């Protein structure tokens, strides 16, 4: 697949967002959010998503100049209105506030309404972990998950991200959708021209499908766990719990009240709900970092079923991908994605990405 230098991807995304109407500071922040996804191997939430944000800005569903506001505040909590700002604008504001409160009170919990898509949930939890705190981030979304025993979608992909620091620079990182897979991963399969595994999504007949385009068009993902017989109700339950933290606490829409998120841009602001948490482990038992580091090393040392596939701790794969990307200096993208963004660049009047064949 074609390769693009990492700094060239960043340059293009920033210029495209600015051309769409984002201020330079917010274009830079949002491009960094998307680039993080691609460098860690989560291509569903990186460059793949840029055109969605551009069209949302141009249609007015996202206010790229918005400044989040605090509606209610206590020592350890805050209720925020994101003002339909870019995901990075609201995410940085809310997680910075949660971190500040955790420093002062031991814990910070911020729930926000008026939010738009905030990219890879782990990016926000990682922001707290990098400051020695436990970080958590959640969001609801458009209704794409079919609850167990239901026919139609009513829940979001509703991801959960949980990052924790450990001694000697180690860390634990969990970032997962409560659906079997994020919708963007189906888009990536479409770009590659490849099928999806069975157990990801339903077709229009209510039966599992491996046709990526059909799954995307049908917009009905299975919960984490898949069918009821394989514990799909657990993913459904996780998604419902995240609705409580995001829609319930903030007063935002619940997932079933949101419209679909489209590449052409949303017809109106989605009013998603998001929740950001930071916890200071220094306020609890001494030796936290050492205990977490010992657990991580124990899991990695377990004998694998397949000797060629060592046991990883949560977050290891993403760190390895980031290190490999940094060493290589380039990111690989599907040819049809490169071609699509060449057309986007022409439409916006910005320089297209320089591709290394």
Q: Is residue 74 part of a domain?
A: yes
Last-in-domain residue among 268, 283, 298: 283
| Mean pLDDT value across residues 193-220 | 94
Expressed as residue numbers, the domain containing 118 is 66-180+221-283
| pLDDT at 208 (0 to 100) | 95
- What are 264-313's pLDDT values in tens digits? 877 789 999 999 999 999 999 999 999 999 999 999 999 999 999 999 99
Asked if 76 and 37 sit in the same domain, the reply is: no
Asked if 11 and 142 sit in the same domain, the reply is: no
| pLDDT at 332 (0 to 100) | 96
Asked if 150 and 75 sit in the same domain, the reply is: yes
Confidence of residue 210 (pLDDT cuts 50, 70, 90): very high
Asked if 271 and 152 sit in the same domain, the reply is: yes
- What are 93-112's pLDDT values in tens digits? 999 999 999 999 999 999 99
Confidence of residue 188 (pLDDT cuts 50, 70, 90): confident
CATH number at residue 343: 1.10.1530.10
Q: Is residue 214 part of a domain?
A: no
Is the pLDDT confidence value at 185 over 90? no
Is the pLDDT confidence value at 357 over 80? no
| pLDDT at 187 (0 to 100) | 87
Q: What is the mean pLDDT of the chain?
A: 96
Asked if 44 and 159 sit in the same domain, the reply is: no
Q: Is residue 244 part of a domain?
A: yes
Asked if 53 and 119 sit in the same domain, the reply is: no
CA atoms of 118 and 26, how far apart (whole Å): 13
Asked if 326 and 277 sit in the same domain, the reply is: no
Confidence of residue 183 (pLDDT cuts 50, 70, 90): confident
Q: Is residue 12 part of a domain?
A: yes
Distant-in-sequence, close-in-space partners of 293: CB < 8 Å, separation ≥ 6? 166, 167, 168, 170
Asked if 236 and 329 sit in the same domain, the reply is: no
- What are 120-158's pLDDT values in tens digits? 999 999 999 999 999 999 999 999 999 999 999 999 999
Asked if 277 and 320 sit in the same domain, the reply is: no
As a three-state string, the secondary structure of 246-282 is HHHHHCCCCHHHCCCCCCCCCCCCCCEEEEEEEECHH
| Mean pLDDT value across residues 166-192 | 93
Asked if 3 and 132 sit in the same domain, the reply is: no
| pLDDT at 232 (0 to 100) | 96
Q: Is residue 302 part of a domain?
A: no
What total of structural domains would you count in the chain?
2
| pLDDT at 263 (0 to 100) | 79
- What are 46-87's pLDDT values in tens digits? 999 999 999 999 999 999 999 999 999 999 999 999 999 999
Asked if 141 and 75 sit in the same domain, the reply is: yes
CA atoms of 211 and 215, how far apart (whole Å): 6
| pLDDT at 182 (0 to 100) | 87
Asked if 254 and 133 sit in the same domain, the reply is: yes
């Amino acid at each position: 697949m074609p390769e693009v230098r990492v700094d060239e991807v960043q340059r293009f995304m920033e210029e495209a967002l600015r051309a769409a109407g984002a201020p330079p500071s917010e274009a830079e922040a949002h491009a960094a959010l998307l680039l993080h996804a691609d460098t860690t191997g989560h291509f569903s939430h990186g460059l793949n998503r840029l055109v969605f944000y551009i069209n949302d800005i141009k249609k007015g569903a996202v206010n790229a100049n918005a400044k989040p506001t605090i509606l209610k505040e206590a020592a350890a909590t805050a209720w925020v209105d994101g003002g339909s700002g870019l995901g990075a604008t609201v995410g940085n504001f809310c997680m910075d506030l949660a971190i500040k409160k955790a420093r002062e009170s031991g814990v910070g919990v911020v729930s926000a309404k008026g939010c738009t898509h905030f990219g890879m949930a782990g990016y926000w939890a990682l922001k707290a972990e990098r400051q020695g705190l436990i970080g958590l981030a959640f969001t609801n979304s458009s209704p794409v998950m079919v609850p167990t025993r239901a026919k139609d979608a009513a829940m979001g992909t509703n991801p959960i991200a949980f990052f924790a620091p450990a001694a000697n620079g180690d860390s634990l990182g969990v970032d997962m959708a409560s659906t079997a897979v994020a919708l963007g991963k189906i888009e990536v399969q479409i770009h590659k021209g490849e099928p999806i595994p069975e157990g990801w999504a339903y077709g229009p007949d209510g039966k599992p499908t491996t046709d990526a385009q059909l799954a995307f068009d049908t917009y009905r993902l299975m919960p984490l766990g898949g069918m009821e017989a394989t514990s799909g109700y657990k993913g459904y339950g996780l998604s419902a719990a995240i609705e409580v933290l995001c829609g319930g606490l903030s007063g935002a829409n619940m997932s079933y009240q949101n419209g679909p998120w489209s590449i052409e841009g949303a017809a109106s602001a989605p009013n998603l709900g998001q929740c950001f948490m930071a916890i200071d482990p220094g306020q609890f038992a001494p030796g936290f970092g050492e205990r977490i580091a010992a657990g991580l090393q124990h899991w990695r040392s377990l004998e694998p079923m397949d000797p060629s596939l060592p046991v990883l701790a949560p977050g290891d794969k993403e760190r390895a991908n980031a290190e490999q990307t940094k060493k290589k200096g380039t990111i690989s993208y599907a040819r049809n994605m490169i071609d699509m963004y060449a057309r986007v660049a022409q439409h916006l009047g910005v320089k297209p990405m320089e591709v290394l064949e």
